[in-house]
Structures are given as C-alpha cells and as structure tokens.
Chain A
Amino acid sequence: MNCAEFQRVLPETIEGGGTAEHQAHLISCPQCSGLVSDLNAISKTARLLRASEEPSPTVWNSIEISLKREGLIRQPLRARSVANRSAGGWSLAWLVPVAAGLLIGFGVIVYQRGPAQQSHVAEKVLPATPSRQVINRAGSNNNNDDQQVLEAIGSRSPVVRAEYAANLQNVNNYIRDAEESAQADPNDEEAQQSLMDAYEQRAMLYDMALDRSMP
C-alpha cells in the first residue's frame, strides 16, 4: 500500500482503526503516521473547547427580563425575611414601588392622552411643548432614581453596577424613542404599546436591582 492509497481510506482508518494493511503502512511511513497523529491531536484538542467560553452577564439579564415579561417567573419560593434586611436595604425599599408606580402612571397618562387628543384633534392642535416639559421633568427624575439604584447596587458589586448602568441606558434610550414616536403620532397604538413596554422594562430593572442590593 502506498501513501495515496492510504490517504484515500484515511477517514475510515481514523474512525474504525483500519485494517492490518493500513496499520503496516502507518508503521513504515512517517509522513502518514505524522498526518494521522496531527488529525488525532486536532480532535483531542477540540474536545477542550466544549465549555471554554463564558457569556457576558448581560445575557442572563436579558433572559431574566424576558422571563418576567412573559410571566414565566413568579415570586421566589425563598421568602425574604424582613428582619434580615439591612437599614441600607430599607432605605431603598420605598424607591421601587414609588418609581415603578410613577413610571407606569406616567405611561398610563401618555397612553390615555392618545385617544383624548384624537377626539379633540378637529377642534384644536395641542402645543407639543407642555408634554415635552413633562417628559423632560420625568427624565430628570428618572436620572436621579437611576443614580440611587446604581449607587446601592454598586456598593455590593461594581461589576453588576456596570451591567445595570448599561441596561438602564438601553432602556432609557428605548423610552426616549418610544416617547418621540408616541408624540409624533398620538394615534399610533403600536408606539403607545412600546412606551408601556419600555416603562415595564425599566420597572423590572429597578426591581431586579433592589433584589441584588439586598443582603
């Protein structure tokens, strides 16, 4: 058997060990035995790549948000003991319901404004400035809330703080885009829905951040 003949049957030889004739050629031919040795080394090293990479923490954050949004996550079974909560935790505890309530309430107002404007649209065109001012004020309040949440979480883990900062930034951008779309066309139900979704995402992020900031 020569090298060309051997290499034609090489896949079967590697898979099944090959015949005595193949083995004899391998022993006598350093080139073919070098090739087989390389291919085996490639296969062996490939197995080490199986679980070698770590996804970034944002992957789990996104999954968690989706699970909550889809209602797949319910209240955790382990009850959080009120007595175990630190003073630092309590100082923030008011923030979540208040912020979430404000955000959702604001969303509802914007949402309800759509149809109202629709009914008055023939009578007069509402100036855009006041609602923009309201949004700007809300945006400023949100920035303060964001900072408080990030400071609380940062005291436990700077890495997680960075993740939340990035996620909050994304959600805030999403809210801004949705607000602009909703303002541009108050009758656009899709834009109103997007705005509501954006507020919910933000409330969830606050909720998760509070969970993590607790001891």
Chain B
Amino acid sequence: MTDARKPQGDRLTEAEAIERAKQGDAEAFEILYNLHKRRVYSLCLRMTANTAEAEDLTQEAFLQLFRKIGTFRGESAFSTWLHRMAVNVVLMRLRKKGLALVPLEETIETEEESPKKEPGAQDATLEGSVDRLQLQRAIENLPPGYRTVFVLHDVEGYEHNEIAGMVGCSIGNSKSQLHKARMKLRELLKTSRAEKAIKP
C-alpha cells in the first residue's frame, strides 16, 4: 500500500486524506478509517479473541492515530505507523489485564502444551492443507503468549527483532515461542479435523 493509492474511486488519495485530516476534515478521517479498519480490527481480534474488546481497541487505536496525525511527517509509511500504534494499544491492554505476553525466560513446556506423541506411532499430518476458519478458531485457543508472537510474526509479518522489542523478550525467545505456537496449532487443527471426521 502506498500513499499514492486511490482509496475510493476518484476520491482522495491516502496522502491527500492525511493532509486534509490534519486540517480536521471529517471526510478525510473517514477515508483513512475505511482504508485501514479491516487490518487494524483483524489484528485486535486475533490478539484478544474477543469481538467487543477488539472493537474497543480498534476505536482506541484510530483515536490515538487521529490525535497524533498532525505529527505524521511521512518518514515511514502511514500504514506501518498505524499498525505499530495498534499493536502497542493491544499490548498495553493485554499487559493491563495481567496477561503474560511471553515469559521472560525460556518457557518450560508443560505436558499440556507439548505435542503428544506415542512411541512408534505414526504421526498424522494435515497433509499440507489448512482450513482458514479452523485456523482462526485454533488461534483463539492458543495461550496468550503463543498467540501474541504467532499473530505478530505469521499474520502481521513482523520480524523477530521487532517482536522482541515490542513485547520485551529476547529474539531467541520470540523464535522459540513461535515454533511452539505453530506446533500447538498443528495439534489443535489435527484434533479439530479428527472430531469433524467422527461427526456425520
């Protein structure tokens, strides 16, 4: 997404909308909101797994953005700026709720979290295909720490060094959490697929 894009037919480009929003133009605010609402809301929803909270956080993220829009100088892409702000709003909320984003030390894998494997048993696979809705549900069932790193890396595309900076952990810890999150998701997806196969 670049600043030159035309958001709605022949209406303002993003860059024009930003300039007009700085002047307090209502239409420009709405254009910017419509351009980015899905990405911001999806991020909030994935991270919290709660619709009402995600809407509340989306509102908060956009309000913060609009309050600070006068300071935006275009050194970074507007979308990067907004999404970083949204991530911070969500992380702040999760911290306030007392949810550990990631343990400071390497996590000790509990029996529940580690993939169950019987010795000698053939490990069923997902055959390389994953249903989007099932993945969505599986993400909701991840422990918050795993979920945060997985969403930031695999959904939002942040690098481990960025995630480490945002959540306050080491790069190694971020990598480790991501791997465990993927393994846990694989287990959840296999379980869900097996349950679906049993049901007529």
Contact = CB atoms under 8 A, between A and B. Distances in A.
Interface of A: 10-11, 14-15, 31, 34-35, 37-56, 58-60, 62-64, 66-67, 70, 72-74, 76-78
Contacts of B26: 64, 67, 73-74, 76
Contacts of B168: none
18 contacts: A11-B176, A11-B178, A34-B123, A38-B128, A42-B126, A42-B135, A42-B186, A42-B189, A43-B154, A49-B139, A55-B58, A58-B55, A63-B33, A63-B59, A64-B29, A64-B30, A67-B29, A72-B24
Interface in B92-113: none
B182 A43 contact: yes
A47 B154 CA distance: 6
Interface residues of B, number: 52
Contacts of A45: 130-132, 135
B176 A46 contact: no
Given A35-B125, A59-B58, A76-B25, A48 B132 contact: yes
Contact of B23 (A15, A46, A64, A74): A74
Contact of A59 (B59, B125, B135, B185): B59
A47 B136 CA distance: 11
A14 B180 CA distance: 13
Nearest to B83: A50
A47 B155 CA distance: 5
Given A42-B189, A55-B58, A73-B26, 19 more contacts: A11-B176, A38-B186, A41-B130, A42-B135, A42-B154, A42-B185, A46-B154, A47-B154, A53-B38, A53-B41, A54-B41, A55-B54, A58-B55, A63-B33, A67-B66, A72-B29, A73-B25, A73-B29, A77-B23
Contacts of B30: 60, 64
A34 to B, nearest CB: 4
B156 interface: yes
Interface of B: 20, 23-27, 29-30, 33, 37-39, 41-43, 45-46, 54-55, 58-59, 62-63, 66-67, 122-123, 125-132, 135-136, 139, 150, 154-157, 175-176, 178-179, 182-183, 185-186, 189
A50 B63 CA distance: 21
A175 to B, nearest CB: 22
Given A11-B176, A77-B27, A50 B123 contact: no
Contacts of B29: 63-64, 67, 72-73
Given A11-B178, A43-B154, A46-B154, A54 B128 contact: no
Contacts of A38: 125-128, 130, 186
